[in-house]
Structure 1
Amino acid sequence: PAPRRRGPRERGEGPRAAAGGEGRPRAEPALTREGIVLAAIGVADAEGIEGMSMRRVSTELRVSSMALYRHVANKGELLTAMIDHVFTEAALPEPPPADWRRALEVALRCEWDIYRRHPWAVRLTMMAGAVVSPALLTNAEWMLRVMVSRGRTPDQAQELLTVLSAYTSGMALQATRVVLEEHEFGMDTEQWWRTRGPDFLRLADQGRFPTLFAASALPDVDGVFSLGLKHLLDGIAPLMEGPGAP
């Protein structure tokens, strides 16, 4: 007689085989907490913080959303880990430069560079921000030590730190505004200005804003940051070098 044909289960084509054999579900790709954090940073860099969700990160990693929760408890914990990563990656030098002005400039430029690379970060790290991470506290402690070493009390140093952080965060928000609008409207900076060109020309023709429209170009935000930082440090010099400074 003709040989009996084997059925799907005998050929290993049944549900058990599709699930990975022996009744076990197919394993998802290996996950690590660091891999999840890096994927979330990549999503936020490309799509803005509004586009970053546990579901979106799981899609990026090609795993189930539940797989993420074995490594991070919730979105808030993930946001904190993202901030901690970007600030740890740009750790400040130890020991700080001996000159207080150089030390504070190093710290503020480091923070500025983080915001330029990761525009979403400024929205989480302002003085009333959404997260508090060990790396953020380390940066704050670093700058406070610089100021206290010049004879400032911890309270005085906190006040100065608030002024310095407000400047960097405020400038970063100005610099990232167009980036955020790119995510919202789906256009780059040049396209954004071109679409608004006719509106600006109509306003210029009205003659109501002659000084505003006399400028030849938009200011270079990095150059403006450097200029403002110089004057800001000039402004706090009397507070850093006054009575009580070594």
Structure 2
Amino acid sequence: MKKILFATAAIVALASAQSALAADLGARTYPYATKAPVYAAPIYNWTGFYLGAHLGGAFSSNNNFSGLGTGNNSNGRFLGGLQVGADWQFAPTWVIGAEGQYSWLSGSVGAAFPGGYAYTNSQRGLGSITGRFGYTWGPGLLYVKGGYAYSDNNEKVTLAGTPVGFGTNGDHRNGWTVGAGLEYMFAPSWSAKAEYQYYNFGNATFTAPAALVPTGSFTTDDHTFKAGVNYRFNWGAPVAARY
């Protein structure tokens, strides 16, 4: 009888241990039942340095030189160049930055004067150093810009086709510029832009030769339209993530 009771107690104890073990194993399956983390979509980050290139056209005002014939001022001239800059995104939908830009120009501008005189400016390029401020919504950036401008002038005055000495009393190489544009981030580290930029280099008046003095002052300015692409550095990690 004692042996039977002992065997029965052993069987009950073994069954209880197996039940506890099964319950413990079942409780440990909870990590596999939880939902997977929600995908974290990165927020676009405009902070960093960039280097790029652009193409476009330039148009000069056609009402300079007291209404005289102004050659191809109003006709488009081809331009192409480079830009380098840096941006900082803050607050978090605003962007502030600085940019240096240079555009090479084709063609020339000028005017024909009474008596056979002609003025020509084979303007070789336009440069600028500007600040810019913009609003961003993810991959898009709408911005305005403004600052210092430089005109690489190559001027001459001719009489019946022969070069003659001349003088002006204004600096029409250094001036100011303003503009606006739209930039779009189309791939990691790459963005494309479309931009309008106006350059103004002030008024100048001929002081020689005497035949040109009565024509008064002329203005050197340019309207430009550009399309370009930028490669952006230091975009290794987004600023934040949206869940």
TM-score by length of 2: 0.24
Decide which structure has greater helix share. 1
Q: Give the number of the structure with larger relative contact order, counting CA–CA contacts within 8 Å between residues 6 or more apart.
A: 2
| Rg larger in structure | 2
Decide which structure has greater strand share. 2
